[in-house]
Every structure is written in C-alpha cells, then in structure tokens.
Structure 1
C-alpha cells in the first residue's frame, strides 16, 4: 500500500514539472515576439523544425547593444546582441542558442550586390594587372634593335611596288601618265601633222584650249613654237578651224604678257584685224574679237598699234553691221575697259603713288590717242544706242561706257535733247525694280540698284 502511494505522488510531480515547462516556453514566446520553428531530431539530438523569428527594435534590451551583421549563413547570437530589422532568427533546440541570418529581402539585395561587384571587378583592370600592362606597353614602345628596324623597313617595302615596275606595267596597258608638257608636245605634233583630218584637228584645238588657260602651259606653248601653228590656223580656209584657233589664241593671251608680246611680234594683231574687217560667220567674229580683246587689255603697246592701223574704224563697222547686237556689247565693253585702264594709271600718277613699273606704263599709255579716235569715230553717239535696248546687260554696259567716255563726249551728251528724257524714264523703271529687289532688313547693292546708281551718276554729270 505504501508503495502504491509513493508511485501516485511521483506521477503528479512529473505532471507539475511538465506544466511549468510549458508555461515557461509560452512566457518566452510572448516576450520575444518570435515565431518558433522546431528543429528536427538528428542522430544524437532532437528532431524538430528550426525556430525562425523576426527581431524588432522592441527586442533590444540594452540602450547601446552590439549589432550583429548577418550573412547568408546561420550564426550564433550572444546574450545582449541585436540584429537589423528584417533578419531571420531561430532558436536551435539542439544547442539551446539563438541563431541569425539574412532575411528574405536582405538575401535578394545581398546576392544582387555581390553580382554587381563581381561584374564591376571584371570590367576593370586590377592594380597588379594594370601595372603589368603598362610595363608591357613601355617595353613594346622602346627603341627597336637594328635588326628589327631592318625587318620593319623590308616589311613596309614589300607592300609597295617599285616605280620602274609600275611604269612598265602601265606602258603595257597604254596607261602611261603624261605631264602637261608632254601632252602639249604630243598635241602640237598631231596638229602639225599632214595626216590629221579636220575633225581630228578640231578635237586637238579643243584640248589645247583647255590646257592653255593655265599661264605656265600657255608660255610653254610659246616656247615649243605652238603659236606659229595656232596663228597659221587663222589663215585656214575652213571657218571651223579659224574659230577654234582664235579661241585657243584668246585663252592663251588672257592676262599673259609673255604670250601677248610674242603674238604682236609674230604679226598676230594684224591677222586678227583682217579677220574682223573681212566677211566671216558671226561665230568666227565672236572668237576673233575675244582674241583681240585679250591681246589689247593691259597692253598699251598693242593698243597703240591697234589704233594706228584703223582698229576703231574696224570696230565701228562691226557695230553697225551687227543687227542682233551680239557683238555690240563686246565692243563697247572692250572700249570701256581700255579707257578705264588709262584713267586709273593717270589717277595714280596724280596721287603720286606710282612705282618704277607704273611710271613706264604711264609713259606707254600717254602715247595711246584713244579719246581723239573715239570722238572722230562718232562713238559718243554709237554707245548711246545701247540705252534703247530692252536688255538690262546692254544698258548697264552702255552706261558704264558713257561714263568712261564722258571726258570727251560730255558736250555731245548735253546736245542730245532726247538723252535726259531717256535717263528719266530709265530711272523710274529701275527704281521700281530696285525696290522689288531689296530684302527687308538688308542694305542696298542689288543688280538693279547698281544700274540705278549709274543712271544717277550720268545724270549728275549732265547738269
């Protein structure tokens, strides 16, 4: 009986102990505000799930606790240590200690940061690697040995073919490059050949005209005796050859004193006057007049010869015979240019701004009796006729020539009663055109404004 009572009391003691343990665990759970996970028992231990808990700032017991930085692995928490918000905390029932690791969101951020750092590290040189690369560059850019330099030269030379080999290959392909001098020599030989046809000569003259625009080529043509061949073409019975020869001659003469002197010495001016004075097609007359104008401009010696051999008379006959007016503008422009040249050099002498070369030009221009020839040839009235044209260019050239000839023609202008009426009518017309031509916000200077200025200057001289 006593034994049974003892056993009964022992059973109640066990129940009381279990109830106290349950109460203690409930109290711990309420104070820690954590969700527990039972750790499963393994060999030699308890087999329950892990206890995971979210630790908040309210769980920090101390005023300045030690904060543990969790990682992706579980680590043991010491008493008094705190963890950041969002970390996972569990109670390991096997060891009886609290453990912590990164929370789910923290884990995602940690993995992303690790990947970014790894990518950044792969995109840049490390310090050691950078030093190695710089050292390599310095070694490669160092002075080459003599053998290396020879090898580099041989390598570069192997990339190009010798000049003689290129010439030989081009000669076989009939692609040998010619200089302008060689081309001029070849063309002149072909032009002077008796085997050349008329069509072939016309093509050769066209090529020569293109080349002699350059001053050096034109002078080379002279030194090769080419002017004799070109001047000979002016005497051809074929008008096409006359026209083409005159075209080449005019291009070679333009602003080229060397060629101008030789043409005069070879009698070229006289040949040009003959062609202008005798019946020729209009196309031939145009090219011959172009050559004559190129010879006379800025060459007072040729101008004096031209005047002394009836040049103004020849031009006057051309002016009257030109019903269409294609030659009239060219003739008046030539006369205006020659007058302007002489006036400019005279003005420079009056201003005492001449050098030795200008003084010689002044002396030569003083022997050119141009004004007298213009007055005697009736050019004051001839130039005035251009104002009756409907072409703006003709009127412009006529006004410029009348202003240039005003020193000798002013009295004749004043005697012409129809001239003031003509000028007044033109002023009204070009004033309207100039107004239409002006752009708002911009100054003057248009084409019609220039013609209006010429009209005003001529009208001012007549007063």
Structure 2
C-alpha cells in the first residue's frame, strides 16, 4: 500500500486506501471480526496527522514543508524574519521529475508530491504536476526563442548585406599590394611575383652547385609557370630560353626530356615565343635531338615541341621543310614499331596540310583582316605536297592502319584524307591500302550496328566509318 500526500503550507492531506473492508454492524458497535481492519485504519490516520510547524518539537519521522526552498522568505516583519531564520536551519530537498527518497529530518518545498512507499518504508518526493507543467512550457518557449532572430539581429544582418553590396565598402576592405608587402616584410615573409620566381629559378638552374635533381625540379616548376602567355614571354626576355635549349644538348636524358617539355609548353599558342625560338636556333636543336639515338620518352617530348613550334607558323614550317624535317620524321616513322611516334607524326602532317588549305579557302575580307593576304603569301612558300611525294609519305602513313588501336587508325585516316589530293595515284595502286579500307569498314560497320541496337547514335565508330567512306569516294 502507498500513501500519496500533497505538501501544502505545512499541512499533510493524506488519502489512504485500505484493501481491508470494515463492516459496521451497528451505528455504535463494531464487530470483533473487523477489529484488525479498524486498527490498521487508525494507525494510518495517526500517521497522516498534520505536521507540527514548531521546529523545536520536530521528530525524525515528521515531514516539514517550507514556503520557499531558496530561503527567500514568505512574509514581512518580525514574524517573517523568524520564519526565514527557521528555514535556514532546515535541510530542504530540491525535487526533480523522478521520485527520490527523503531522509529523516529533510524538508520539502510547497507544492511537491510526497508518498510513502510501504514496500520500503521510505518517504519519496518529486515535483508536483503544476511544477512539471510550467517547466515543460518554459523549456519549449526557450527552444522557440533560440530559433527566432530578434529585430535588432535582423537589422544588423541587413546592414551587413548592404555594406557587402556597396562597391566603395568593398574597395575599402582591400589594401594595396605595396602596403601588404611592407607589412609582410615586417613579419619576415617574402611575397614573390611570377617574374621574381622565374628569375630565382633561372639563377639556381645556372648555378654550378645545383645538382641534376635540383635542375629537374626547377624545369618542372618552369613548365607549370610558362603555360601563362605572359610568363613564357617574360622567361624569354630574361634569357631563360637559351638555358632551356642548352638542356636539349645535355648528356642526361632526363634533362633533355624536361627541357623539351618546357620549350613546347612555352611555345604553345604563343607567337612571340615561337618567333624567338626560331631566332634562337630551336628548330635545329630539336631536329638534331630527333635524328640522334634517344629514348622514346625523349622523342615524344621533342615531337611535342616541334609541333608547338610549327602550328600556325608558316615561316617555321618553311624552315622545317628546308632543313630536311620531313626526312627526319620519315626515318623516325619507319623505326617506330609501337605506333606512338607514328601517330604523333601523322597528326603533325595533318595539321600542316589542313592549315594551308584552310587559309587558301577562307575568303576573308581583306579590309576586315589586313594580315590575311600576308598569311596566304607565307603559306604559299610551304611546299608540303612535293615533300610528301618525294619522301614516300603516301605509302608510309597507310602502315599505321595496321595498328589495333582505334585512335591510331583514326589519326591515320584523317592524314590519308588530307593527303589524298597529292597521293591519289599511289592510293589507287596500293592494293594493301585498298584491302585495309574494305576490312576496316566492315569491322566498324558491325560496331556501329551493335551500338544502334543498344540505342547509341552518332558514336565514335560512326565517325571512323565516315572517314573511310570519304577516302574510298576519292579513290574511285
């Protein structure tokens, strides 16, 4: 059995439920059979009598209720002071949401729920229902207040947005570069521009104390920098182009490879560097590197540099042909068994032929393009067609079709189509070429049909079939 009590103003109101039913026989007499039940009820009523408020007469089993558990006082005047002083001497328990056991002599705040656990014989206390309700409401209001901005906060956010959108305020946030340099100099920090970095790298590269590994790292950093047009031109004005060309003559193959890579990256789509490279004798150095015994990785980078030098530069193409460039490439083409160098050479031939044809057929308005006539005149001096026939390229390029790589075949077909006006008679008499074209067309046509079944259209293999058809039409 559990006795539930509500502590309020020092009075314990108890509701006791007894499992024993007492039957009164008459209004004045009680049956002897009901005496045990009557005795239990009497004991419970005695236990639940109001608790004395006099602290001097408290017993260990009494329950004391205080108005303010914080000791803040309940009334004014002398009576209030005496009551506050009495409360200060009490051991007041702070209830929680869970039941907790009361020790003898402890007091509880008003409004708390107190019960007697008859199984353990201990009093237990927890917060009252009203206290729990108010605590839950305060918690939910606290969560809502955390997720809502105040008006002042919203005003500050809008003010910051307006300041960010104001160009004048943006400009005021940035400081001049010279001022930043001065501040960083005081912090022992060094700010270098790309030009200063390249100057430092060139000095280190030219130093007699630099090792091969250090020079390789320097060339790697330079290759990254010269991709920017301005940096490549600045490198040439510093004399760095000569250092790179000297690296092509190095006895270390790694330095040759890295030097050719930097040179090709600097000349790519950079006419100023292309002109300075030709004036510095870069073409002769590159052809010499291709004609001598070199590892294939060196020749790949040298071919990259040659292609970058010749692209959209008819003057360099003319010098390339006059210095026996196609002869050097033909020997390299025959010696290559893997097809990597052959593919790059075929692509280079295609670029040279298509550039000249494109310039002669553009029909640009001379008024709008004043340099067009001069470009046509320069390309007219590049006699690629005669060199193709003389050096046997009409029979060399078809050999690339024997490769099993689709990319190699595609590059060969494009070069054959560009060379067709010059090599048409050789194509018609080359039975090996005609047989390869028929076989490749059947092979790629099957691939196209397989892709169409899968729902794929305009595939890579369709382009190859179209190239083969175009060559066959010209041959017929």
1:284 counterpart residue number:
298
1:394 counterpart residue number:
408
- Alpha-carbon spacing, 1:181–1:389, altered in 2? closer, same or farther (3 Å): same
SS at match of 1:274: helix
1:312 counterpart residue number:
326
2:213 counterpart residue number:
199
1:356-435 to structure 2, matched below 5 A, reads 356-435=370-449
- Alpha-carbon spacing, 1:169–1:363, altered in 2? closer, same or farther (3 Å): same
SS at match of 2:294: coil
Tell me how far apart the structure 2 counterparts of residues 324 and 250 of structure 1 sit (CA, whole Å): 23
Deviation at 1:168, TM superposition (A): 5.5
Deviation at 1:200, TM superposition (A): 0.4
1:217 counterpart residue number:
231
- Alpha-carbon spacing, 1:421–1:395, altered in 2? closer, same or farther (3 Å): same
SS at match of 2:251: coil
The Cα offsets for residues 332-383 of structure 1, whole Å up to 9 and x where unpaired, read as: 1001110000010111249989832111111001011110000011001100
In the alignment of these two chains, the number of paired residues is 312
- Alpha-carbon spacing, 1:166–1:402, altered in 2? closer, same or farther (3 Å): closer
SS at match of 1:405: helix
Structure 1 position 448 matched with structure 2 position 461? yes
2:191 counterpart residue number:
177
Tell me how far apart the structure 2 counterparts of residues 262 and 268 of structure 1 sit (CA, whole Å): 9
Q: Is the 8 A contact 2:350 2:414 kept in 1?
A: yes
Structure 1 position 338 matched with structure 2 position 352? yes
Tell me how far apart the structure 1 counterparts of residues 374 and 426 of structure 2 sit (CA, whole Å): 33
Tell me how far apart the structure 2 counterparts of residues 163 and 305 of structure 1 sit (CA, whole Å): 46
Tell me how far apart the structure 2 counterparts of residues 359 and 176 of structure 1 sit (CA, whole Å): 50
The Cα offsets for residues 82-108 of structure 1, whole Å up to 9 and x where unpaired, read as: xxxxxxxxxxxxxxxxxxxxxxxxxxx
Deviation at 1:387, TM superposition (A): 1.1
Deviation at 1:304, TM superposition (A): 0.7
1:134-153 to structure 2, matched below 5 A, reads none
Q: Is the 8 A contact 1:438 1:446 kept in 2?
A: no
Tell me how far apart the structure 1 counterparts of residues 205 and 319 of structure 2 sit (CA, whole Å): 30
- Alpha-carbon spacing, 1:171–1:397, altered in 2? closer, same or farther (3 Å): same
Tell me how far apart the structure 2 counterparts of residues 247 and 431 of structure 1 sit (CA, whole Å): 39
- Alpha-carbon spacing, 1:161–1:270, altered in 2? closer, same or farther (3 Å): closer
Structure 1 position 235 matched with structure 2 position 222? no
- Alpha-carbon spacing, 1:163–1:250, altered in 2? closer, same or farther (3 Å): closer
Structure 1 position 275 matched with structure 2 position 275? no
The Cα offsets for residues 143-164 of structure 1, whole Å up to 9 and x where unpaired, read as: xxxxxxxxxx9xx99x999977
2:265 counterpart residue number:
251
SS at match of 2:381: coil
Q: Is the 8 A contact 2:339 2:403 kept in 1?
A: no
Tell me how far apart the structure 2 counterparts of residues 193 and 224 of structure 1 sit (CA, whole Å): 16
Tell me how far apart the structure 2 counterparts of residues 194 and 263 of structure 1 sit (CA, whole Å): 25
1:436 counterpart residue number:
450
- Alpha-carbon spacing, 1:164–1:341, altered in 2? closer, same or farther (3 Å): closer
Unpaired runs of 5+ in structure 2? 1-150, 160-167
Tell me how far apart the structure 1 counterparts of residues 427 and 224 of structure 2 sit (CA, whole Å): 44
The Cα offsets for residues 4-60 of structure 1, whole Å up to 9 and x where unpaired, read as: xxxxxxxxxxxxxxxxxxxxxxxxxxxxxxxxxxxxxxxxxxxxxxxxxxxxxxxxx
Q: Is the 8 A contact 2:364 2:372 kept in 1?
A: no
- Alpha-carbon spacing, 1:203–1:347, altered in 2? closer, same or farther (3 Å): same
- Alpha-carbon spacing, 1:429–1:174, altered in 2? closer, same or farther (3 Å): farther
**Greater relative contact order: 1 or 2 (C-alpha under 8 angstroms, separation 6 or more)?**
2
Q: TM-score, normalised by structure 1?
A: 0.63
Tell me how far apart the structure 2 counterparts of residues 288 and 420 of structure 1 sit (CA, whole Å): 33
Tell me how far apart the structure 2 counterparts of residues 188 and 436 of structure 1 sit (CA, whole Å): 56
Deviation at 1:237, TM superposition (A): 1.5
